[in-house]
Structure 1
């Protein structure tokens, strides 16, 4: 795998393992149009996402498994990791990955969204992306952090 940018592999792994923001995945439709989808993910050296078996992206990845992706902060100072790789999809019959993602992003499965997603009749798919290239960026040194509205105004 090709790694570029200011972060070494351990910092990339740390950022992606700790990030609880969705990953944005770019792919192609069977008509060769670009498509973007945001999904919850886990990282262990590969990207692991869950989605419904009837989601358009499942069909798109079956037609072309090449993807691009990005995980980045939404507030300054901006930082993140982008890359490209190859996606595979497999059934997540026991919804193990989905349950893990619900724990990671929502803190548990005792909520309305979890009940809807974990319905027995809903089929789930595990999307695994094996990265071929990763690039990190970090503007911490040249961009101030967004002020916290809870902090008192220093001018007062």
Structure 2
């Protein structure tokens, strides 16, 4: 992972493991052409030191990223104890011609492509793009120790 600034609770291999094992959506923030901020939640996968997502070619997010590829992101657990990774980087767009990234995301999040949602997303008429995020700055946090008694109460 070619990150220029790496800080927080975890080592680089621990962050990579978290990205590989955690199947919550990534929250991706960008800037709209008018300067206001925009945030979306997308499925992601960690792939060769980058974070990859897929989206329809006509999505508003695509227009925003073409105008300004700078992004911020967060991948974090939604349950106690809270832990996760946030950072910033640069997004690049490319056609997902064979829907390779999309298929990988369907496998990762749905366990396969045998659903109505998968069929709709994989339709031949739907043009899909890959969003590749190259992280520049990463910060990880893990509140497992300080929330240990809270997580027992929540179980």
TM-score interval for Structure 1 and Structure 2 normalised by the shorter chain: over 0.9
Is the CA contact 2:55–2:130 (under 8 Å) kept in the aligned structure 1?
Answer: yes
For the pair 1:147 / 2:151, whether they are aligned, the reply is no
Please identify runs of 4+ aligned residues in structure 1 that moved more than 3 A: none
Structure 1 Cα separation of the partners of residues 84 and 50 of structure 2? 16
CA drift of 1:147 comes to 2.3
> What does the per-residue CA deviation read over 1:58-107, in whole Å, with 9 as the maximum and x for residues that have no partner?
00000000000000000010000000000000010111110110000000
| TM-score of the two chains, using structure 1 as the length reference | 0.93
Decide which of 4, 12, 17 is 2:7's aligned counterpart.
Answer: 4
Residue correspondences, number: 148
Verify the 8 A CA contact 2:74 2:87 in the aligned structure 1.
yes
Superposition RMSD in Å: 0.8
Larger-Rg structure? 1
Task: Name the residue aligned to 1:86.
Answer: 90
Unaligned runs of 5+ in 2: none
Q: What does residue 71 of structure 1 align with?
A: 75
Q: Which residue matches 1:13? A: 16
